[in-house]
Every structure is written in C-alpha cells, then in structure tokens.
Structure 1
Amino acid sequence: MHKLSQAGLVLVCCNYASAAIVNGIPNVQLDAGTFIGNLSGNVSQFLGIPFAQPPVGNLRFHLPKPNAPYTGIHDATGYGLACIQQSSNATIPSNIDPIALQFLELSASSIQASDQSEDCLTINVMAPANASGSSKLPVVAWIYGGGFETGGTASQTLGGSVIVQRSIELGQPVIFVSFNYRLNALGFLAGAEVAKKGLGNLGLHDQRQALRWVHKYVHAFGGDPDKVTIWGQSAGSMSVGLQMITNGGNTEGLFRAAFMHSGSPVGAGTLADGQPYYDALVAGVGCSRSNDTLQCLREVSIDQLTVAINNTPNMDSFQSLNLVWAPRVDGVFLKDYPQHLVKQGSVANIPFISGDVDDEGTAFSLTSVNLTTNQAVHDYFHENYFPKTSTQDIEKLLQLYPNDTSLGSPFDTGTASALTPQYKRIAAIQGDLVFQAPRRFLLQQRSSRQKAYSFLSKTFKYIPDLGSAHGTDLLDIYGPGILTDYLIRFATTLDPNGDTGIFWPHYTVETPKLLTLWDGATPVNITNDTYRAKGMQFLTELSLADPTNI
C-alpha cells in the first residue's frame, strides 16, 4: 500500500465516516486512515487494501493475522499483487480444434496472474458512486478459482464494476468485494508437521479473515455487513461450500447466502495424505536435514520456494483434478471429509444456489489423452482417484460410463469431438466425479432443510472438443448476461426471481428443477436434474467410501 504524496493531500478536506466523492475522486475513511480510490462511470473503486498483515518472513505458513488499525492516506487506485502462482506445464493435444485452443488460452489468461508476491492479502471494494454509510446495500463477495494453484482479483475479464453497474440499472444496487488468498503450497501445505501446528488450509483461513474484514468495514463503503452473499467459481465455488460447512455450519454472521458456480464441498483427503508432497518440497529447497523443516521452509527465499512448488504436479498434469495443493481434513477448519460433514448436517442454514456447466470435465481430460484402452482408463481411475476401492467397483463404474463416444462429454454431440477413443468417456467421469455429483449430493442432502436453487449451463456447446466447458458460465454473468440479474436479485432479496424472464423454482428432492441456459433463440428454460442418475449416485458412493484424492 503506497502513501500518497503531499500533493495528494489536497484531495482530502476532512475525515469521512463513509465513502464520499471529493473533486470527482472517491474517498473513504477506515479507522484513522483515508483511502483514495477512482471512479469508473458511476462506480467507485477502492483497490488493493490490505486486509491482513503480510504473510512474509516468519508469518509465512502461519494463520492470517488481522491488519493493524489504518492510519494515514493511501492510494487505493490499483489492484494489489496476486499471491504466488504455480506455473502450468499443460500439454495440449496436437489434434485439438483451433477454436478450442483459443478458448483454453483465454481461460488460462483469466486466472494466471503475472504480477505476484507473498505480500498479497488485499481486498477490493466497488460500490455505486452515490453510496454512503447509511445506504446499507447488499454485498456480493467474490472468491476466484484456479484450482487452488493460481488466480487473483485483478483479471480484466472479471470486472466487478460490471456487476455493480448492472445492479444500478436494475434499481437494486449492490456492493462488489473481491480478495486474494494464498495458493498452492503457501496456502495449502499438508503433512504431519503442518498438522502438529494446526496450520492446514491457510488459504481458507485467509478467505475467512477477508470476510471478517468485510463485516467490520463494508458499512463505510455503503454496504450492509448483515447482507453478504459469498460467491465463487471452480476452486472459489468449492471454497464457498467449505465456508458453509466449517465451524459446524456457524457463519459467525459473516454471510447470509451463497452462490456457487462449478464447485461444491469436496476436499483432497487428509493432511497426512499430503505428506509425500511436503517431503518433496522440503527436499527441493534443501531443508531435509533441518531439525524444524517447517521453520526452514519459512526461511528459504521465495524464489527458491516457488521453483520447488512449480516442480510439483498441477491440475494440468497427468493426475489432473487429483490436486496436490488443495483443502484437506485438518481437524481445525475441516474436522472431517467435506461430504461427510454435509451428510452430518454441518452446513450453514442459509439460502444457496449451486450450478454447473454441462461439460465440466473436458478441459481437465486433455492431459490424459494417452489413455486409449479400457484397461488404461480402469487403472487411471483406480490409482489416481480411488486407490482404496476394489477392482470390481471400478469395473462397475466403467460399465455405468461405457466407452461410447455418443454418450461422452461434450455431451449431446454424437461421435464428434472424440479426440481419442477414450477422451469423451474420461471427460464424462471426471466432470461428474468432481463437479456434477457433489453438487447433486449437496442439494439432495440440504434442499429439504433450506432454500436452494440449481442451474445448468449448456451454452457455448459449439466449442469443438470442449463444448460447454468449465468456466464458460462466467461469460454469462460477467458479460453481463442472464445469470447476472439472478445473482443481483438473489443477493438483494434471497430470491433470484424477478423480472428475469422465467420463474426459477426451488430445488427439491421430489422436483429437482434446474434453470438451464442454452445457445440459440430460447436461452433459458427449466429442466430436470435427473441425467446420468445411476452413474452419479455410484460416484457419490465411491467418494464417500474413499475420499483420499477427491
């Protein structure tokens, strides 16, 4: 955070208890500090505000510590640096269609941040320019995705001002908040040493700390701290789900609703399951002989540590969605496997929306195109996702997802987009395993207890080889598009319906209705969430019995 020059002081004529516009420039007072933002149309933007102490030096691999009370005058006109990213080693099949390749490149650029630092725990607030401390506007708090490996808030393709501007046009203004959280090993280190200190899932603790900051300070920007909707996509959506199930489902009053795109409560085993990766990281930076390897990891240079992190598998590696650095059962933030917690009822009793795109698994299956036989696919799912599951159960899984390209993903495309003899089959299983089945499980477990809605996006089905791929629904909400209005109305009234063109019914076990988005002249209708019922039910059973790598 940069102090303003003496010339900047003339912009501030007095202390403000809330946001205000002075000489065309937004100002807000937090504690004894004044933050100078910028104006984008009729949206005030305050960017890059620290919400916790920098997790550097001896605070590396520690729980986030609240920021000290603000003093002085600060420039809040630019995003803070992203948290350290894990580099990708993606290998794209040579026979992929150029249009699909273009989409993958666009998607990667939207989540992979170039300007990064350990000192990254910053938050951004965007509000209608006329908002004041008495406005008490609803708040949407965005949690970005990126496989818990990459991502940040500064992506130009995900502008929060679009959401705020659209809310103003609807006459239901909202505040938009986004924040960074630690990623990869810096945010999700595992192993016995981590467990002993109670330091698992630091990235999730960062998110919680950011939400505490929102509760404390958002009133100054015109927001109502009691009307916060947490909202995310992919790893951000999974994070939303995990924020709902931690702490016995107690939200601490930090949020009153949740909106999830492509991600439900799932994890990646226990801290003990991550021990091999901890040991590899320790060896990679030369800490193996240390009496305190965790402290040694704090003391090595960030450049050295980043090289070691980049040498570990990522979601573009062969093991794909069996993530190395991801939320794990730690006995603190997650006291049991996420889906077990859902089944136990450890879920915040709040209204929520959870949805998926039709072809969640396609982009994540490009790394396994070398699997071209039934036996190779059998071994992949047995070894990579279900190591404790019997061979017979893996065979049953493959019977429920047969090697028939007309049944694979991208779905409803016949025999097209079959990059290899097994590609569409693998994509169908991975998409259902990690995204579709957990969403349906959450809804089946909770929709009789709390207000719930669900959606399915079949847009962009025309993208060759990928179809309605992971992330395409973001184009329908940050566009803005159909989902934008539903989000704003949900954050405002806890009901997504209104002047949105079609009524979106509650999801129930008896009537599992989906708001379904399509390409073409009829962009939205209501369908039933009954597709691939036997396959998803069996995947859920396998996941509950063997949650080691999911």
Structure 2
Amino acid sequence: MLLNLFTLASLAATLQLAFASPTSLVRRTNPNEPPPVVDLGYARYQGYLNETAGLYWWRGIRYASAQRFQAPQTPATHKAVRNATEYGPICWPASEGTNTTKGLPPPSNSSSSAPQKQASEDCLFLNVVAPAGSCEGDNLPVLVYIHGGGYAFGDASTGSDFAAFTKHTGTKMVVVNLQYRLGSFGFLAGQAMKDYGVTNAGLLDQQFALQWVQQHVSKFGGNPDHVTIWGESAGAGSVMNQIIANGGNTVKALGLKKPLFHAAIGSSVFLPYQAKYNSPFAELLYSQLVSATNCTKAASSFACLEAVDAAALAAAGVKNSAAFPFGFWSYVPVVDGTFLTERASLLLAKGKKNLNGNLFTGINNLDEDELRFIFTDATIQNDTISDQSQRVSQFDRLLAGLFPYITSEERQAVAKQYPISDAPSKGNTFSRISAVIADSTFVCPTYWTAEAFGSSAHKGLFDYAPAHHATDNSYYIGSIWNGKKSVSSVQSFDGALGGFIETFNPNNNAANKTINPYWPTFDSGKQLLFNTTTRDTLSPADPRIVETSSLTDFGTSQKTKCDFWRGSISVNAGL
C-alpha cells in the first residue's frame, strides 16, 4: 500500500511538471525553492537552484536550430518540460595554422580542467544564470557573454559560467552565455556559400541569440533594455562584429523595434585576416574543403558538402586549417556585403553614429605580445641567429605566412615598424613577430573600437601577472577564486566591469567603491591600468591612470602603430 501511494504521488508530480505552463518566473515565497518552469513558446524548461551560489540556473537551453550552412531558425515546438540541468553539446572545433611545428590550441574560454561535452553539429544552446528568487518585473541588468577561441575552439560548457563573477562583484544580474557554430560549419565562405547557403553563419547564430534575449530574458528576471554584450579574444572580435553588423544599423536591417544591446565590453578584440566572401582566399578554402571531403567530382559541390558526415567535415576542416602557417586562422568572418558590409577598420572609422550600441569598454592585456606558443612559432623563441641577413629573411618569411596578400614593399614597411635593433638578440624574430600579431590582431582593434565610441568609451590595461593574452579570463570566468589572487585585485578589476554591466558606468564599483581612481573616458587620452604592487598576484591591487601617449611599442607610440595598421596596408592585411 505504501508503495502504491508513493507511485501515485510520483505520477502526480510528474504530471504537474509536464502540464505546467507558466510564461515567466513568479516570486518565490521560499528562496530555497527551485525556479518555476519557464515557457519560451516553443519549449519549456525547468531550471534548478544552486543553493551554494544563491542562483537560479538553466543549462542547455536550445535557442535555435539550423541546417548545415543555413541561417539559424526558431526551434521546433516541444510540449514536454525539459530539465535544464545539463549543458548542451558543444560545437565542432576547428584549428589554427600549425604547419611549422606542432601547435598548441589557444587558451580555453573555460577555467575548468573538467572533461568537455561531446561535439555535435546540433549545438546552438545557451545557459542562463539569475539571482535566486528572480521573477519577471525585476528588470535586472543582463550580461550576454560570447566565448573566444579564434572562431575555432571554445564553448559555453563546463567551467564557463559567471556565477563567481556575480558573487565577487556584488552585482545582481542575469547572465546568458551562448555557443555558435565554429570552423567550417560557421565560417565557410565562397560564391557557392553566398548562392546556396549563408556566410558568417557563426555571427548570425550570435545575432539570433541576441534576438532570443530580447524576446525571452524578461522571463528570467532580466531587462531587455539593459543588455551588455561581452567577449574575450574571438568573443571580443564577435562583439566588435556585432557592433559594426549591418553597417551599424541592425535595427533597420532586421526590422527590429529596438536595439539588441546597449553596451559592450571587448577584452582583447580579435581581428584576423578579413577577406571578401568571394575573394581568391575564400574560394581557396572552399575548394580545399571540397577536395578534402571527396566532393570534387560531385554535380554540386555545395550539395555534397551538405551531405558529408559531420565528423568527417570537422576533420577535413581541422586538416586544412593546420596546413596554413603557424598562427594563421582560416575559417573566420568575411566581408559579405550584408552582415559585414566593409572591413572592420573602415566601419569603425565612421564613428559612433554608425555603430550598434551606445557604450564600450575595451581591455587589453599589457603583454599581449608575449603570446607564448599560442600564435607565434615556439621553435624560434630562443633562436640565436646573429647574421643580419638571415634575420631579415626569417622575419619576412614568417610575415608572408601571416599576411599572405601583403606585398614585398608592405612587408618591408612592417619590418621598419618593428626593427631588429629594438628586439632582443635571443629570439629576435620571435619577439618581432609576436609584437606584430599582438598589435595588428588584438591591441589595435581594441584601440580602434574604443576610439570609435570616443566619449562613450573607457579603455583599460590588464597588468596582473603574467598579463599575457587570455590570462584575464581567470578573473571573470569559472571559479575565479583559486587562492592565487588578492581580494583587492578581484575587487578592482571585476568590480569596475561589474559596475559597467550594472549601471553602464565602470566607476560605480559595487565590490569596492574606493579602490580605483576615477576612470576617464577614452577621448581624454587616458586609460586605467589594473596593476598590483608586485608581480605576485597575491599582492594588493595598485590601479592607476596612465596617459595613452605614454604607451610605446618597439620605440614608437601605440597610436602610431595602430595608425600604421589602419593605413594603406590594411587593405591587403584584411584589417
């Protein structure tokens, strides 16, 4: 009899969950209760309560579905309630160019070493985190985070959340982190893609997710009129691309009632070679993939690629990418005339009135050029070549691999900007190439984006040791607190960014109102240096204001370097 009663009770609870149809969160009288079911129209999701963090959590929400090489669409309707306790499958990864040596992948967007989810072509999922007890009408600030990884790696899976960030900044916000198609699945170009599919599919995924946020985030307690997008590396490049998307007027292009976001944060804005969708380079990548998947003799190469097994297509993309020189990224955004109407440097130069979003905060790591095996061939790190002509030849060869379409005269101009005499004798070429990659690919794009927003932008420098590319990740993604950071360093850096997300002003530091000096806007010619008293990250924070004009690289100002990369060389460099 007891067994029968238990079975009936379980059945009743199951039926109650299956037929629940709330349209939004409702106020919980007991903060220890799990959140109610959230109805998205096409699906319903049951989140859970993380009592330790004091947060509601929804993992693995499907925000879109997409056929291969096609634009994302609203998912099919499912009536059954889904438990949102597991992350969705991650997107198939690709690779960077590694043909000069065995390359290592770029830093993960995750601060966790836990095993990642299985890769799948069906990967358009996002996760939502909100303060426990949140409900519709709370109008909480919203953060949408886009992961990095060179448009080839990364995910919104294990260890990629912002739970610790919200805790240590003392801010209440709704956080959405999303996935998008990578590699050849998300960034294959060529005339055939334009004719029969879409270009920049990965960026379209992100844009669709931002539309999802506008439609649904209020059901989780968020305010769709208070949205900040943030990304690091390729995630920051994605942020930049969303800022310049559709000629800077996405509202008009998509027929929207209001903007998709109000503010943006770019941490090391990534701008690799940006070709036209039907350029010789784009057609080369397309034909290489056709060949690698045995589609050469097919009546329709596009139809053949559509039918290739997903794992085989992913493997072919990795193989093709790895055949390029070390540090070269192949499957990346292209100028397609619709989503990206021109090269990024040109669109940013048009200024704030021609950009999506109203406010921007940009962050660079102070030692982006110390890329340490990520983008620069590690085999030349400690070379001892002393012959001047050999050094000249070595630098020129590696530069040609990174920028295959710049001319010999342009390579000579780059060499003058990064002279042999200003590099160390040991690892001379390594140091120069690292600086070239850092400036052209990360530092200057961040600088240009901040400059475009002018008085509506703040620019910062991250100098917590070692301050190499992506080391700032550990201060906002995942657990954060690992016993190797001082409390004040977290309060200084995370608090400023949290204040920007919460109030659109990084001077409103909720974690510690007095720790940072006043952070002026970028047009003042000043930046905020996030520093510690020593190179030990356990030492106290020592933030201070620095003059932009005082920042130099290879003997000249950073502004001079960025003006060079935005000059005539930008055409063949694809910037």
Taking structure 2 as the reference length, the TM-score comes to 0.81
Do the aligned residues in 1 keep the contact of 2:101 with 2:326 (CA within 8 Å)? no
Shift of 1:383: 4.7
In structure 1, the gaps of 5 or more residues are: 409-414, 462-467
Give the equivalent residue in structure 1 for 2:82. Answer: 74
User: How many residues in Structure 1 have an aligned counterpart in Structure 2?
Assistant: 511
Give 1:354's match in structure 2, choosing from 348, 362, 373: 362
Cα deviation for residue 195 of structure 1 reads 2.5
1:378-397 to structure 2, matched below 5 A, reads 378-385=396-403, 387-391=405-409, 393-397=410-414
Which residue is 2:530 aligned to?
Answer: 516
Residue 270, structure 1, aligned to residue 276, structure 2: yes
| 1:296-307 alignment runs, 5 A limit | 296-307=304-315
Change (3 A) 1:437 1:80: same
Q: How does 1:28-427 map to 2 (within 5 A)?
A: 28-31=37-40, 33-40=43-50, 41=52, 42-53=54-65, 55=66, 59-69=67-77, 71-86=79-94, 113-156=116-159, 158-166=160-168, 170=170, 172-197=171-196, 199-252=198-251, 253-263=259-269, 268-271=274-277, 272=279, 273-314=281-322, 318-320=325-327, 322-345=328-351, 346-361=354-369, 362-363=371-372, 364-367=374-377, 369-370=379-380, 373-385=391-403, 387-391=405-409, 393-404=410-421, 420-427=427-434
SS class of match (1:353): strand
Q: C-alpha deviations, 1:377-419, integer Å up to 9, x for none?
A: 123224531623342x422322321225xx55xxxxxx6xx87
Question: Would you say the 8 A contact 1:174–1:488 is kept in 2?
Answer: no
Residue by residue over 1:81-120, the C-alpha shift from the partner in whole angstroms, topping out at 9 and shown as x without a partner, is 10111257869989x9xxxx99969989779945210110
Do the aligned partners of 1:477 and 1:483 also contact (CA within 8 Å) in 2? no
Partner of 1:506: 520
CA distance 1:542–1:27, change in 2 (3 Å): farther
Quickly say closer, same or farther: Cα 1:8–1:77, change in 2 above 3 A. farther
- Cα distance change of structure 1 residues 155 and 398 upon mapping to structure 2, 3 Å threshold: farther
**1:14, 1:348 → 2: CA distance?**
38
* 232-241 or 35-44: bigger deviation: 35-44
Query: What is residue 35 of structure 2 aligned with on the other side?
Result: 26
CA separation in 2, counterparts of 1:527 and 1:426? Answer: 26
- Name the residue aligned to 2:561: 535
Alpha-carbon distance between aligned partners in 2 of 1:229 and 1:488, rounded to the nearest angstrom: 11
For the residues of structure 2 that align with 1:37 and 1:106, how far apart are their CA atoms? 24
- Whether 1:452 aligns to 2:470 is no
Counterparts of residues 435-514 of structure 1 (less than 5 Å)? 435-448=442-455, 451-461=456-466, 468-478=467-477, 479=480, 481=490, 482-498=492-508, 499=513, 501-514=515-528
CA contact (8 A) 2:228 2:501 kept: yes
Partners of 1:318 and 1:368 within 8 A in 2: no
Of 249-258 and 199-208, deviating more is 249-258
d(CA) in 2 for partners of 1:368 and 1:425? Answer: 13
Counterparts of 1:105 and 1:258, CA distance in 2: 21
Structure 2 residue aligned with 1:412: none
What letter matches 2:290 in structure 1?
Answer: V
The separation in 2 between residues aligned to 1:277 and 1:108, in whole angstroms, is 32
Structure 2 residue matching 1:29: 3-state secondary structure: strand
Shift of 1:265: 5.8
Instruction: Report the Cα offset of residue 337 of structure 1.
Output: 0.9
Once the two structures are TM-superposed, the CA of residue 511 in structure 1 deviates from its matched residue by: 1.9
Percent identity over the alignment is 27
CA deviations on 1:222-269 (whole Å, 9 max, x unpaired) are 001111100000000000010000123225321010001011566521
CA distance in 1, matches of 2:430, 2:162: 36
Residue aligning to 1:465: none
- Cα 1:163–1:365 change in 2 (3 A) is closer
**CA offset digits 1:428-472 (Å, max 9, x no partner):** 111111111222223333315xx10011112223xxxxxx21111
Measure the CA separation in 2 of the matches of 1:475 and 1:108. 6
1:86/1:309 contact within 8 Å kept: yes
Aligned partner of residue 232 in structure 1, secondary structure: strand
> Which deviates more, 469-478 or 19-28?
19-28
Give the 3 Å change call, closer, same or farther, for CA 359–118 of structure 1 in structure 2. same
Structure of greater Rg: 2
Instruction: Report what 2:484 is aligned to.
Output: none
Deviations 1:341-378 (A, max 9, x none): 11234322511101111222323344263485222112
Moved more, 228-237 or 27-36: 27-36
**Kept in 1: contact 2:350–2:452 (CA 8 A):** no
> What SS is found at the alignment partner of 1:279?
helix
C-alpha distance in 2 between matches for 1:365 and 1:419: 19
SS in structure 2 opposite 1:311?
helix
Alpha-carbon shift at residue 305 of structure 1 (Å): 1.0
1:268, 1:326 within 8 Å by CA — same for their partners in 2?
yes
- 2:320 partner SS: coil
Assess, with a 3 A threshold, how the Cα gap between structure 1 residues 112 and 538 changes in structure 2: closer, same or farther. farther
Q: Residue 420 of structure 2 aligns to a residue in which SS? A: coil
Tell me, yes or no, if the aligned pair for 1:92 and 1:366 is still in contact at 8 Å: no
| Structure 2 CA distance for aligned equivalents of residues 108 and 165 of structure 1 | 16
TM-score by length of 1: 0.85
Q: Are the aligned partners of 2:493 and 2:530 in contact in 1 as well (CA < 8 Å)?
A: no
CA distance in 2, matches of 1:359, 1:307: 33
Partner letter of residue 174 of structure 1?
M
After TM superposition, give the deviation of residue 490 of structure 1 in Å.
0.8
The residue type paired with residue 18 of structure 1 is S
For the aligned residue pairs, the C-alpha RMSD in angstroms reads 3.1
Going from structure 1 to structure 2, the CA distance change for 1:48 and 1:423 (only over 3 Å counts) comes to same
Q: Give the AA of the match of 2:564.
A: F
**CA distance in 2 between partners of 1:267 and 1:104 (Å):** 20
Q: 2:135 corresponds to which letter in structure 1?
A: S
| Preserved CA contact (<8 Å) 1:144 1:233 | yes
Residues 366 and 349 of structure 1: CA distance in aligned 2, closer, same or farther (over 3 Å): closer
8 Å contact from structure 2 (residues 377, 430) kept in 1: no
- Where 2:231 maps in the other structure, the secondary structure is strand
> What SS is found at the alignment partner of 1:447?
helix
Q: Say if 1:436 and 1:89 are closer, same or farther in 2 by CA, change over 3 A.
A: closer
Deviations 1:47-79 (A, max 9, x none): 1011112x3xxx111011122455321111011
Note the C-alpha offset of 1:11. 5.2
